[in-house]
Amino acid sequence: MKRLALAALLLAAPAAAQETAPNAPREAGEVRLPVFEAGVAGGGGWLPDYPAADQNHLRGIALPYVIYRGEVLRADDQGVRGRVLRGERLGLDLSFSGAFPSSSDDNRARRGMPDLDWQGEVGPALRLTLWRDPLHPRRVNLELPVRAVFSSDLTSVHYRGVVFSPELAYEDRNIGFPGARLRIGAGPIIATSRLHRYFYEVAPEFALPDRPAYRAKGGYLGTRVQFSYRVPLTRQISFVGGGRVENFGGAANADSPLHRQNWNWTVALGFAWSFYSSETTVASSADPFD
């Protein structure tokens, strides 16, 4: 899947601007951040057309972005999230993800079939902090997101089922450079039959001698290991790189003619430039992961 998590890797990479509002009272040494920032980000990646596809394509993207540091709703270098419950060991967010579209004209396995549209995911994500270094900003989390999946060709929206993607994640701040952020995560992906059908089903009208009709079922989709590393080069400019390796051996639909290989890999590089910061600021939390 051309994950928009990869787009987030490319786009949600602004430097953490640190400033104080001209007339805002503050305690000595208090760091304040703009409530709102806007900028532009872009990058490119070598991505598989869909899970277990045997073709990758080079994709590039450049888009405006915003950062909003609200009390509940936040859009920042950790993605778009609604902070429903926060605690030292337990957190509950409203999380978002998705995938880029894929043209069947560019994929041998799907020739003559409908394109895969833009996909979006939304749902709650429970976070359990299993370990935290008391002397350095690093931790190990167990993250448990459950998201509803939708697809759209930008003229209509279709419900595509539910995906559950638990992940064991290691995060480290200030590694190598001040303000840098390293994240490494690994975990399985499980989805309902509706989403599997979107990727792997072959309706009788699309059957070919080398692509027999196939009815997809729900269950295990695959396992992925992914990493990202973000470095703020200046207060306004950041660089980010990352990658992902996925294995689909033993997947519920490994017998589908659209399941072409057991391994996918992705690499991506990007940048972000923040060109506007609001005068209104908010006190930065002492917690580097907040």
Segment 184-214, tens digit of pLDDT: 999 999 999 999 999 999 999 999 999 999 9
pLDDT at 98: 78
pLDDT at 73: 60
State the pLDDT confidence band at 235, using cuts at 50, 70 and 90.
confident
Q: What backbone phi and psi angles, to 5 degrees, belong to 10?
A: -75, -35
pLDDT at 129: 95
Average pLDDT over every residue of 4-30 = 44
pLDDT at 96: 82
Q: Which of 6-20, 56-70, 190-204, 266-280 has the highest mean pLDDT?
A: 190-204
Given a contact cutoff of 8 angstroms between Cβ atoms, the answer to whether 14 and 67 are in contact is yes
Provide Rg for the chain, Cα atoms. 20
Nearest Cα neighbor of 99 from 198, 189, 4 is: 4
State the pLDDT confidence band at 12, using cuts at 50, 70 and 90.
very low
Give the Cα-Cα-Cα angle 221, 9, 118 (nearest 5 degrees).
Answer: 55
pLDDT at 44: 86
pLDDT at 83: 59
Nearest Cα neighbor of 165 from 183, 181, 143 is: 143
pLDDT at 16: 43
State the pLDDT confidence band at 254, using cuts at 50, 70 and 90.
very high
Q: Model confidence over 164-183: pLDDT tens digits?
A: 999 999 999 999 998 899 99
Residues in Cβ contact with 169 at an 8 Å cutoff, skipping those fewer than 6 apart: 140, 141, 142, 143, 183, 184, 185, 186
Range of weakest confidence among 21-30, 32-41, 79-88, 270-279: 21-30
Q: What is the mean pLDDT of the chain?
A: 86
Q: Model confidence over 33-82: pLDDT tens digits?
A: 888 889 998 888 999 999 999 999 988 888 888 888 776 666 555 555 55
Token code pair at residue 88: 């030292």
Using DSSP's 3-state secondary structure scheme, residue 70 falls into coil
Please report the domains of the chain, with CATH numbers, ordered by start residue: 4-283 (2.40.230)
4: enclosing H helix or E strand: helix 4-11
Model confidence at 143: pLDDT above 50? yes
pLDDT at 13: 42
| DSSP result, 80-124 | EEEEEE--SSEEEEEEEEEE--B-GGG-STTTTSPPB-EEEEEEE
pLDDT at 161: 98
Model confidence at 94: pLDDT above 50? yes
pLDDT at 2: 47
Model confidence at 264: pLDDT above 70? yes
pLDDT at 289: 62
